């Protein structure tokens, strides 16, 4: 009787797997599932990740660079060529892309120069000399720049100089001589000739007050312009 109970008891324990065995089985199932997921999401032929875009051509890359530059502001041909060269685009592709952009009007140095002259003259009060220097720095052909600068004549330049001086005089302080020197220097930095600058400041001081007018009357425009190496009045 005891033997039969023992036998049944033994068979009962043998039928129940140990906890460690259950843990190993669960771990095996998890590892198997993870491996399956990796295979299904890997770089196999049926996976979306396996679909690769064709490499971008040099011409496509050059056009993309140009369009990003032009989205910020208009650019000259020389400016775009310089950027493309820095990005290691070949000279052949640079010429090809920029020739095409010239052809369809995406870049137009003449239009750029006209817009630059109008904006910088009316917005910043720059004279022809300063504007010519800025256009040269941006690679605009001298002849193209000259045509754009023809829109500014001596009269418009003198009027712009006087407007700048009148605006500065509203907050200027110091003796008439100190004010005179500061304003002439300001106009010189904006590209005005010594003659135009001296005349604009002299006329503005003469209309300011009695003290300034007395100082302005004593100014010898010709002598000062000669000293500056520019007798254009």
Note the pLDDT tens digit of each residue in 149-206.
Answer: 999 999 999 999 999 999 999 999 999 999 999 999 999 999 999 999 999 999 999 9
Based on the fold, state whether residues 219 and 163 are members of the same structural domain. Answer: yes
Q: Six-digit token pair at 99?
A: 């020739």
Based on the fold, state whether residues 164 and 232 are members of the same structural domain. Answer: yes
- Per-residue pLDDT tens digits for 113-145: 999 999 999 999 999 999 999 999 999 999 999
> Taking residues 206-215, what's their average pLDDT?
87
Which residues constitute the domain of residue 176?
153-233
Number of domains in the chain: 2
pLDDT of 13 reads 37
Residue whose token pair is 């095996």: 28
Domain-located, residue 18: no
Whether pTM exceeds 0.85? no
pLDDT of 86 reads 97
Domain-located, residue 77: yes
Q: Six-digit token pair at 54?
A: 């064709």
Domain-located, residue 175: yes
Domain-located, residue 75: yes
pLDDT of 33 reads 53
Based on the fold, state whether residues 157 and 232 are members of the same structural domain. Answer: yes
Domain-located, residue 129: no
Domain-located, residue 183: yes
Name, in order, each residue with C-beta under 8 angstroms of 195's C-beta and a sequence gap of 6 or more: 221, 225, 230, 231, 232, 233
Is 173 strand, coil or helix? coil
Based on the fold, state whether residues 95 and 158 are members of the same structural domain. Answer: no
Boundary residue ending a domain (107, 136, 170): 107
């Amino acid at each position: 009787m005891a033997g039969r109970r023992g036998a049944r008891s033994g068979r009962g324990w043998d039928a129940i797997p140990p906890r460690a065995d259950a843990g190993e089985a669960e771990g095996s199932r998890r590892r198997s599932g993870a491996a399956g997921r990796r295979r299904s999401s890997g770089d196999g032929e049926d996976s979306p990740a396996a679909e690769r875009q064709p490499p971008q051509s040099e011409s496509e890359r050059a056009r993309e660079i140009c369009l990003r530059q032009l989205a910020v502001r208009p650019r000259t041909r020389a400016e775009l060529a310089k950027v493309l060269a820095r990005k290691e685009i070949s000279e052949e592709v640079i010429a090809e892309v920029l020739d095409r952009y010239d052809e369809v009007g995406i870049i137009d140095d003449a239009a750029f120069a006209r817009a630059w002259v109008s904006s910088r003259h009316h917005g910043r009060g720059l004279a022809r000399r300063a504007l010519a220097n800025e256009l040269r720095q941006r690679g605009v052909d001298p002849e193209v720049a000259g045509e754009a600068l023809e829109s500014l004549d001596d009269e418009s330049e003198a009027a712009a100089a006087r407007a700048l001086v009148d605006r500065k005089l509203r907050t200027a302080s110091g003796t008439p001589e100190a004010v005179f020197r500061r304003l002439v220097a300001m106009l010189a930095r904006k590209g005005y000739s010594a003659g135009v600058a001296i005349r604009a400041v002299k006329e503005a001081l003469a209309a300011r007050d009695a003290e300034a007018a007395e100082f302005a009357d004593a100014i010898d425009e010709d002598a000062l312009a000669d000293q500056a190496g520019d007798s254009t009045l």
